[in-house]
Amino acid sequence: MTTPLPREGQGGGVTYREAIDYLFNVAPLFQNIGAGAYKEGLENTRTLDEHFGHPHRAYRTIHVAGTNGKGSVSHTLAAILQSAGYRVGLYTSPHLVDFRERIRVNGEMIPEERVIDFVENERSFFEPLHPSFFELTTALAFQYFKEQQVDFAVIEVGLGGRLDCTNIITPQLSVITNISFDHTQFLGDTLEKIAHEKAGIIKSGVPVVIGETRNNDTATLQHPEIRKVFLDKALEVNTSITFAEEKDEIINWGNGTCETRHFGTFNTQLGGLCQQRNTATILAAVQQLDMQLSIEAIHNGFAHVCELTGLMGRWQKIQDNPTVICDTGHNPAGLQYISEQLRVTNYEIRNTTQNSELSTRNSLRIVLGMVGDKDVRTSLSLLPKDALYYFTQASVKRAMPAQEIAALASEFGLRGDIYPTVSEAYQAALREASSNDLIFVGGSSFIVADLLTFLQK
């Protein structure tokens, strides 16, 4: 049961757990309840921003939107800026294990005490507004970055762009990674409508980089209507626009290295096929920043992004023998990349097995869970049919019951057993796996969150 905060004037200290429980309950949390937490419009955000004295005006910002890849792009840009000697704020969502992952300065999470102070000192102001959880979190992040005297803050859009509460900033650069189908109940049911919402972050005089104008659901198919939305918006506000996919920057990609035309060859810490396009977007963004960044800083940012920023859950290897990988990809576009990556990775594991007898027993095991407000059927249709599945559900209200996922999955030839929790599904996969098997955990950010929480205990 949630512990209420002491009433004002009662005295007594508040713990971090109490402060977080209070935030999760006083304000609707999209991470838990989905559509019921979504608030359209910027009225509350502007009221909070004025109350705190417009803190985001005290530092330079980079604004990152997109259906997929915006987390990887945001973290890597922050890592590059840190490597160049800047003090960098990073605001992302959702968190996987700890709320404080959302708000970092040079990779360090906001202190628990600062979260407690925000709740205790400001609740008399924000409670009458009935703000969303994300509105409150954004206000806290912007204020904290000012207090920490950051030089830059990389700000990831929460949902969409035009009406997202991060859109009160006037950044030095805007980045839109890509467009695909996700959150269609809020952003629209066509690619053009979704692109229009994300194009809402494009502002007068602020250059914008577009990662790709193809739809990741059909990655080889160009969508000129998406490109036109961005071109029209840039023309409307009189700003420059760069399409990263036109620059043909990357010469070779693979085995943890990237060879480029203008940035040399460097190591990349983030694996996964989708990271090639993310890297092209990041390099185009670096070229558009009105500043000089050394090649060494760029290389270091790519090579050490996880250590520098605390990034987790992007094709993250948990262990070897058996190989365990988790990834937060959760919509058809993301899962299409993951399915192809699983095929390639499982093939590599099979080929590197020295013992031919063991090799014949090589299996792909997938711990899978999803949320009900996603396009579950399309996602399931993309997953490998030769895998052994461990169907489960995350510990959030939005989670689709494991029995329902298993029933739908059977329509697409996916077979496996049902487990009530992620930890039980994961432990079963480990017990049944041979040393040369591949275990993948994913389908939802919340599945990965439950796995990482379990592993940290």
pLDDT at 214: 59
pLDDT above 90 as % of the chain: 68
Give the residue-averaged pLDDT of 76-101.
97
How far apart, in whole angstroms, are the C-alpha atoms of residue 358 and residue 436?
A: 7
For residue 27, give both structure tokens: 């304000």
The verdict on whether omega for the bond into residue 55 sits within 30 degrees of 0, i.e. cis, is no
Q: What is the pLDDT of residues 219-269, one digit of tens each?
A: 434 577 888 999 999 999 999 999 998 999 999 998 889 999 999 999 999
Residues of the chain with CATH 3.90.190.20: 316-456
Q: Is the pTM of this model over 0.85?
A: yes
Higher pLDDT, 167 or 187: 167
**16-309 has which fold?**
UDP-N-acetylmuramoyl-L-alanine:D-glutamate ligase (3.40.1190)
Region for residue 34 given its phi and psi (left: phi exceeds 0; alpha: psi -120 to 50; beta: otherwise): left
Is the pLDDT at 5 greater than 90? The verdict is: no
How far apart, in whole angstroms, are the C-alpha atoms of residue 160 and residue 144?
A: 24
Asked if 382 contacts 366 with a C-beta cutoff of 8 angstroms, the reply is no
Provide the sign of the torsion angle of the four alpha carbons 317, 318, 320, 324, taken in this order: negative
How far apart, in whole angstroms, are the C-alpha atoms of residue 176 and residue 70?
A: 8
Asked if 410 contacts 385 with a C-beta cutoff of 8 angstroms, the reply is no
Q: What is the CATH number of domain 316-456?
A: 3.90.190.20
pLDDT category at 349 given cuts 50, 70, 90 is confident
Q: Which amino acid is at 161?
A: G
Q: What is the pLDDT of residues 284-299, one digit of tens each?
A: 999 999 888 999 999 9
For residue 321, give both structure tokens: 């023998």
Is the pLDDT at 361 greater than 90? The verdict is: no
User: Which residues contact residue 274 at a Cβ distance below 8 angstroms, ignoring those fewer than 6 apart?
Assistant: 68, 69, 72, 216, 329, 334, 337
Residues of the chain with CATH 3.40.1190.10: 16-309
Q: What is the pLDDT of residues 191-230, one digit of tens each?
A: 888 888 899 999 999 999 999 875 444 443 457 788 899 9
Q: What is the pLDDT of residues 395-434, one digit of tens each?
A: 988 899 999 999 999 999 999 999 999 999 999 999 999 9
Higher pLDDT, 265 or 31: 265
pLDDT at 423: 98
